[in-house]
Each structure stands twice: as structure tokens, then as C-alpha cells.
Structure 1
Amino acid sequence: MNKTVALVSLAATLAVAAVLWGLPRGPEPLPLPPPPVSTGSGALTMTARLSHPAILPGQNEVFVTVDVTGVEVPGATRSPVNLALVIDRSSSMSGYKLQQARQAARHLVGQLGPDDRLALVHYGSDVQSLPSLATTPANRERMLQYIDGIWDDGGTNIGAGLQTGRARVAEARTPNSINRLILLSDGQPTEGIVETADLTRLVRDIRAEGITVSAIGVGTDFNEDLMQGFAEYGAGAYGFLEDAGQLASLFQRDLRQASTSVARDVRLSFTLPEAVRLEEVLGYRVQQEGRQVTVSLPDFSSGQTERVVARVTVSAGSEGALDVSGVALAYQDLRAGAPARHDTRLQAHVTSRPQEVTARQDKDATVYATRALSAQNLERAAEAMSAGRREEAKGYVMQNQALFRRAGSVASPAAVAADLAEQEEVLRDYEGADDAETVGAAVKRTKTKSLKGFGRLGSTY
């Protein structure tokens, strides 16, 4: 392991995170932490909180955490969907993978009703497709016969598959339809559009047309960063499967998300006063214009939750209330058929008493922020493992163990027990990875865990 790199990384991580664990408690009675700020009565609710509602004069590191949740719609009839299933049938999918992909596609057909529409697309070097059809009993039989005729052949022309899926969804869309494309691939793009930037631009264009893109990677050879990017820019979900036999359950889950959609075009914005500087929004791409920072979130289904954690530096002066951030959530409410917006404001209390800072620390926000920080380390660990630097990778995971133990001293050991167990699982995974395939699987599992740690809870399968 590169000791200098590891020590510098450890120092940087602990320096960033040290604010989370406070100072020794004093014996005097102190105010309790304020409750989180919740707002929203439409398709989405927003709950925002500060890791440190009380801060000292001077420079302070504070974490802003925001949970966005889709409204529960118990017993509601699901909305009809307009789907395109795009299946990689290149030579690398031969055998078990393609057999299971066909079986999963058959299962998906069986889950659809006569008000739904489905297009089937499969690609290798070329692309073939069955245009979108209503899934009536007669058409379902036609679809099943088409699925049985999919056989492996050729290279991996992901771009052509996406373009054809896009066209098939567009042909069948209606003003109120839920439009979704599900991409399945086990490999790297080898033909057609192969550059990541060009493929990402294609997915962004598909999304701009109102079509959500989900990406499911099978096996250990696909480019997980590319597929994750597809899901992010496509406002859909990302899934990693080592075993193609799990495809049916993932297709069913994606269908359920699509058919219970409650909000789309979701954007979360932070408006920062002059005394506050944004350091980073952990695990998300952002757009910043002046004092406003905007994060694009996926489409939301009923009950889905996504979390965003931002790290800011607050310059506090004299004692009293201090604005830390305005928080706004804007989206298209699919239940109301109209745009919606929720706004709130987060304030910190500036105090000269260190004991009050510790006493009012938000335990949940501390754990959420620690998970996001640990997700950064998991990304670094995955990159090190992929490059053959196993000991360095394990070092990042051990840093996470230290982070969670410290967070547990604030929240409680029980609050981080599952997190510590997950880090142990990653270490065991790395110890047992002894060839290219098991290393690749370990890397992909780690990156999936990092997405969830950043707060992509409902959009990561």
C-alpha cells in the first residue's frame, strides 16, 4: 500500500469529518436539538436538517441533509406505462445470460395489462425490434414468440439500441403516458457510438423528450460508471446483477416504479447567504449559478426516498440566529397534473458555549453525513481495487470503520451497527477476490454500496 497516499487520505477524511463528532459534553442543562424541518403537501415531501444546529463563532463545517419522499398511494391503481425493453444480445451474452434475459422479458410481458404498451429491442452489431404494442392477450403471444427468437450475435452497439428504443417509445406515447426505457447490457460499447460523452449526451437527449432511462448491468464486464451515468442523466434507476437469474425481479421492480410515478423533473436547490460557502454536494453533479446550487433528482414513485447531503463552511459572527441555507424543491406533480414547489429555510444558532454545540448536534444528520463521507472512500477503494492496489483499497474501508465508530459515539452504537457490518462485508469481499472476475464483481458491488451511501436509496437496485 502507498503509505503516503493512505496517510494523506486519512488525514483529509478525518479533517473533513471531525466536525461531526463534537466536543466533550458539559454537566449543565442544555437545549435539545431542534426537530428537522419538513414541508410539502403534494406528491413529494421534503425533510431538511443541519448536522450542527448550534455553531461557534468563526469557521464551521456543517452538513445539510435533505430527504425527499414520494407520497404513499395505498391501494391506488397503477398508471399505464409505455415501455421499451432494450436487450444486449452480443456474443458475450451467449448461454445462461441470454437465456435468463429472455425468461425475464417473458416475465415482464406477463406483468403488463391491456392498457400498457411494450416495445422489444435487441442489439448486437445491428438492431432489431418489435414495435410498441398494447399488451392485449393476442399481442402478448406475439411478444413471447418474438422473445424466443432472440439469439446472441455480434458486437455491442449500445448507442443504436438506445436510439431504437427511444424511437419505439416516442411512436407510442400519449399526452399522459408514463414513458420509460430499460437498458440491459453485460459489456462495453464496441461499435457505433463508443465515447462516454457521446453516449451520455444521447441519454440526456432521450430524457429531455420525457423518457426515463433505467440501466441494468449483468455480470462483471460492463462499464458500471457508464451505466450509472445513464441512470443518473436518464432520471431512472441503476442495478447491478452478477446473476442473470435475478433479472425478472429487477424488471418487475422497475415496472412498479414506472407505474406508480408521482413526480418527475425533480430539482432540489440550495440558496446560500454570503456567510456560507458550498464545499461539495456528496455524490451528485450540481449546477451552480451565483449563490444557488441545483441538484437534479430522479423521477419519484410512491414511497420512494432519495437523500442529498451537502457540506458547507459557515462563517459565524456574534451570538444569535444565522441563516445557513434556503432549500427549495421544484417538480412536476403527476397526480395534480401541475408544477409544484416547496421552500424552507435552515438556521443555526451561534453560541459561545461548546457544550451547546455538542448537545444540539443532530444524531440522524451525523449518521447521514458519515454515510456520504464513507461513500467517497468506497469509490476510492473501488478504484484502487480495480487497479490492483488491494491493500490501499482495504485501507479506505478501514477509514470508514473509524468514521462510523466516531459517529456511533454521537448517535449510538446501534445507529451505525449495520454500517459497520457492511464495511466488514466489503473487507471480506476484497480478501476473497482472487481473479479478474471476482475482483470485477467486488468493484461493482462496492460502487453500488457507494451510491446508496450518497443517498440514492430508491434509484439504486
Structure 2
Amino acid sequence: MNKTAVFVSLAGVLALTALVLGLPPSPFSAPPEDSHGASAVGHHGPLNLQSRAETSGALKMTARLSHPYIPPGPAELFATVDVIGMEVPGARRLPVNLALVIDRSTSMRGYKLQQARQAARHLVGQLREDDWLAIVHYGSDVRGLGGLPATPDNRERMLQYIEGIWDDGGTNISAGLQEGRAQVRASECTGCVKRIILLSDGQPTEGLTEDADLSALVRDIRTGGITVSAIGVGTDFNEDLMQGFAELGAGAYGFLEDAAQLGPLFQKDLQQASTSVARDVALSFTLPQGVRLEEVLGYRVQQEGRRVTVRLPDFSSGQRERVVARLTVEDAREGRPVHVTEVALSFRNLPDNGPVIHGVDLGARVTPRLEEVHARRDKEATVYATRALSAKNLTLAAEALREGRKEEAKGYVARNQKLFEQAGEVATPSAVAADLAEQRELLQDYEQAEDSSAVDTAVKRSKSKSLKSFGRLGSTY
């Protein structure tokens, strides 16, 4: 077994064992009920030892430490940050400037392309007259119907165009994306939310074929103000590449085993675009001396000095995303509060595009009383951190299964079951019942994965599940 993989799995088991037994340094503790309402004072003013919510503009941020009481010496903590798109009473639905980019390569022949056409027709029926839609389809070459406002006459034209999409050629994803960008740019939709929905069932075989080149293209599209969502159908597409498109494009990722599910997914993405409340969303952790950020579980990060930044997707009304970061306090001293991290959320409000910043300092108290460290555990934080740890194992399990190491893959899932059972001892069994059920289903998938198609399906299910467990709750379909 891969040594790194063993370490990750054992680290998760040890962390949760410490949690259940109350051994320091435990990564999970409850926010204190401070009868005096007092806050410790650290390097940057008041430190919050309780869950802290900040709301202004379109987003609400709730930040807390899993372990606001820590023992002296080195200690590991988790910072959990939830970001929610606010419901805006009476807000007008934003018009969208959308490019639907459909794979029509020969692998889409028959049922999949038939369902893609049906879903596209359904999407046209959901548009309002102030929305714009371009329809792009690609095989070896790329063709398209330029962006048009969705008036009754134009909707009829769109429906007729959709009927003429037939399978042909290879999979030139880059040409499809470039044409989608060109059509969105050429639109006269003023004040609209700009979005590309990419659909593919296969690997890129023509045009740009290297992951790095395609990712750079999506990053450039996003820099131009266009969001990219990526939907993979079947078992042959590159899920890591498509997930990367959604992350770099600040959109959503969807995995569909059955193309018949395309209609609801197109509708969901349209709903997210039309109820957008914030874009250019970034979450940062600024660390004082003596604190290390070990990892942000499941997210790409950018680090500049003592600041680590995570880019989040565009937010729609009601959308929730969660970020879990693992930190280490190197040398906590009894009798002094510890400033652990400053958390800042920056974004642009829609539709006025005005900048907004939320910020809060998080700190911990130091106590030699291990019973106090143990007693103040946070049940929800326990579950959130366990899910993030399990997602890391699940990603490793998927790779092991893909490479033919089925027993190793099943071992990761079995470890996750133990993690959730231990978390249930802290948070109550009902709090993790759904998580355990999902792990049992995944284990059954692995047991039954006898051919390449079943393996690919199980891998994609695992990786999609891991995204949600890491905290990509609203941006994973």
C-alpha cells in the first residue's frame, strides 16, 4: 500500500480516537458557554471563542474553531467556515447570457445525444425574453447558433436548431469552449450573468488535449467574467478534468450516470445563474506567528506569506459552501489566549458589483484541565471534520480502485466507517447515520465492480461524493 495513503488514513483514525477518548491534542471541541460573555484579547483585537456569523451584502459567513479550549504545548484544530448566499426578498431575477456547449462526438450517438437534445429543448422552455442563449455543439469541428434573446420567435428557432444536432467526429472540448466564450462575448445582453454549461461524455481527443492547457483556457474564460459549469455523462469522461473546469470556472460540477437526468441539471444550473447574488468570492486565513495551516481539505489554495486564500464559486441565493482547514498551534502557553487565525471573506455583490469584505478573528483559551478540553467538543464540528477526513480517504480509494487495487480501496471505505462510528459516539449515532449508509453503498459498489464500466462508475460516484464531503455542497450536482 502507498505509504502516503497509509499515513492519511491512520492520521484520520488517530484524530478521531483522540476525539472519543478526550486525549490532547483533540481536533474537536465545542464553543464555550462563557457566562460573562468575555472574549480573549490577542494580536488583532477581540478574539471570538464562539461561533461567529457575519452578514452584510449578499453572503453570510459563519466561522468557528472546532477546539476553542486547547491544552498547553502543540495542538491541532480545525477551522470551519460556512458561506451562504442570502435570500433577498423582492429581488428581481437576473437575466442570463448563457452558452450551452454540447458534445456531439460519435460516443454520444443514440440515447445520450437524444437525451441531450431533449434537455436542451427543456432549457429553452425555461428562458425568459430578457435571457440570451447560444447553442454550440462540437465533435472534431465546432458549430453553433449565435446568442439570441429568448423571444417566442427565437425560441422556435432554437428548438429547430437543436433538432439538427447529430453525432459526428472526435471530442474537441477546447473548440467548444472557445466558441461558447465568443458567443457570450458577442451577446448584447446588458447586465446579464454570463455562464457556459459544458457537456461531455468523453476524453478530449482533438484541439487542446493536455489537462494543463485546457485548465488554462477555462481560467482565462473565468478571468473574462464568464462562469463555467461542467457536466460529465457516462463513465468515459475525465472526472478530474471536469471537476477542475468547474472549480477554475467558479461554476458547478455534475456527474450523470444516465443522460435522462440532463434536463433537471440544466434547469438547476439556469436557476443558479439567474439567482446569482455574489461573484469573485474568496476566503482567506491570515496566520500569526506560531500557527501553521496544514491544509485546506479538498480545495486549491494560494499562499502569500502568512495568508492562505481559497477561491469559491459564484453564489446563488440559498447556496451553501463549506471550507474546513486544519491548523496547528505550535506552542500554546497556559494563562494566555491564543490568536489562531483571522478569517476574511471578500466578494462582489450582484447586480451592483460592489465590493464587500467580512472579517473575524478566531482564538482559543489554554487550559491544563483535560476534562475541560474534552467536555467542550462541538458535535457539528466533529461531523464536519470527519466528513472532510473521510473525503480525503475516499479520493484515495477511488484512485486505488481505478488502478486495480480493489482490496486497498475497500480498506479506505472501511476506515471511513470506523471514523463515522467514532464521531457518532460524540455527536450521537443519528448525526452520522446517513454518512454510514453512504459508505456502505460505496463499499457495495466496490464489491460489485467487476468490469471496467462498473469500476469507472464507482470511481466517479466516489469522487463526486468526496466533493460534497469536503464542503462543495451547492456547487456539486
TM-score by length of 2: 0.93
| Structure 1 vs Structure 2 CA RMSD | 1.8
Out of 432, 439, 445, the residue aligned to residue 423 of structure 1 is: 439
Out of 446, 452, 461, the residue aligned to residue 462 of structure 2 is: 446
Give, in whole Å, the separation in 2 of the partners of 1:24 and 1:63: 16
List runs of 5+ in structure 1 lacking aligned partners. Answer: none
Out of 354, 359, 367, the residue aligned to residue 343 of structure 1 is: 359
Give, in whole Å, the separation in 1 of the partners of 2:472 and 2:117: 29
Question: Counterpart in 2 of 1:385?
Answer: 401
Give, in whole Å, the separation in 2 of the partners of 1:244 and 1:361: 44
Q: Percent identity?
A: 67
Equivalence map 1:15-54=2 (5 Å)? 15-21=14-20, 23=22, 32=33, 35-54=50-69
Question: Counterpart in 2 of 1:62?
Answer: 77
Name the SS for the 2:56 alignment partner.
coil
| Structure 1 stretches of 4+ moved >3 Å | 2-10, 15-22, 30-35, 74-77
List runs of 5+ in structure 2 lacking aligned partners. Answer: 25-30, 35-48
Give, in whole Å, the separation in 2 of the partners of 1:127 and 1:111: 25
String of CA shifts for 1:99-152, please: whole Å, max 9, x gaps: 000000000000001100000000000000000000100001110010000000
Question: Counterpart in 1 of 2:333?
Answer: 317
Conserved in 1, the CA contact under 8 Å of 2:9 and 2:393?
A: no
Give, in whole Å, the separation in 1 of the partners of 2:215 and 2:357: 28
Conserved in 1, the CA contact under 8 Å of 2:16 and 2:423?
A: no
Question: Counterpart in 2 of 1:276?
Answer: 291
Letter of the 1:378 counterpart: L
Letter of the 1:82 counterpart: N
Tell me by how many angstroms 1:32 deviates.
3.9
Letter of the 2:463 counterpart: K
Letter of the 1:333 counterpart: N
Conserved in 1, the CA contact under 8 Å of 2:16 and 2:422?
A: no
Conserved in 2, the CA contact under 8 Å of 1:53 and 1:362?
A: no
Question: Counterpart in 2 of 1:372?
Answer: 388
How many residue pairs get matched?
456
String of CA shifts for 1:263-291, please: whole Å, max 9, x gaps: 00000000111121010000000001111
Conserved in 2, the CA contact under 8 Å of 1:326 and 1:346?
A: yes
Tell me by how many angstroms 1:417 deviates.
1.1
Matched, 1:235 2:257: no
Give, in whole Å, the separation in 2 of the partners of 1:16 and 1:230: 33
Out of 90, 93, 98, the residue aligned to residue 83 of structure 1 is: 98
Conserved in 1, the CA contact under 8 Å of 2:32 and 2:68?
A: no
Letter of the 1:238 counterpart: Y
Give, in whole Å, the separation in 2 of the partners of 1:174 and 1:289: 37
Give, in whole Å, the separation in 2 of the partners of 1:22 and 1:36: 24
Over 3 Å counting, the alpha-carbon distance change for 1:413 and 1:277 in structure 2 is same
Over 3 Å counting, the alpha-carbon distance change for 1:323 and 1:8 in structure 2 is closer
Over 3 Å counting, the alpha-carbon distance change for 1:350 and 1:152 in structure 2 is same
Question: Counterpart in 2 of 1:195?
Answer: 210
Give, in whole Å, the separation in 2 of the partners of 1:384 and 1:63: 27
Letter of the 2:105 counterpart: S
Out of 96, 118, 125, the residue aligned to residue 133 of structure 2 is: 118
String of CA shifts for 1:300-342, please: whole Å, max 9, x gaps: 0000000000001012112232111100000001144310000
Give, in whole Å, the separation in 1 of the partners of 2:272 and 2:117: 21
Question: Counterpart in 1 of 2:168?
Answer: 153
Name the SS for the 1:40 alignment partner.
strand
Tell me by how many angstroms 1:19 deviates.
4.8
Conserved in 1, the CA contact under 8 Å of 2:191 and 2:351?
A: no
Give, in whole Å, the separation in 2 of the partners of 1:239 and 1:114: 27
Question: Counterpart in 1 of 2:225?
Answer: 210
Give, in whole Å, the separation in 2 of the partners of 1:379 and 1:362: 26
TM-score by length of 1: 0.96
Give, in whole Å, the separation in 2 of the partners of 1:138 and 1:175: 21
Give, in whole Å, the separation in 2 of the partners of 1:223 and 1:111: 30
Tell me by how many angstroms 1:22 deviates.
5.3
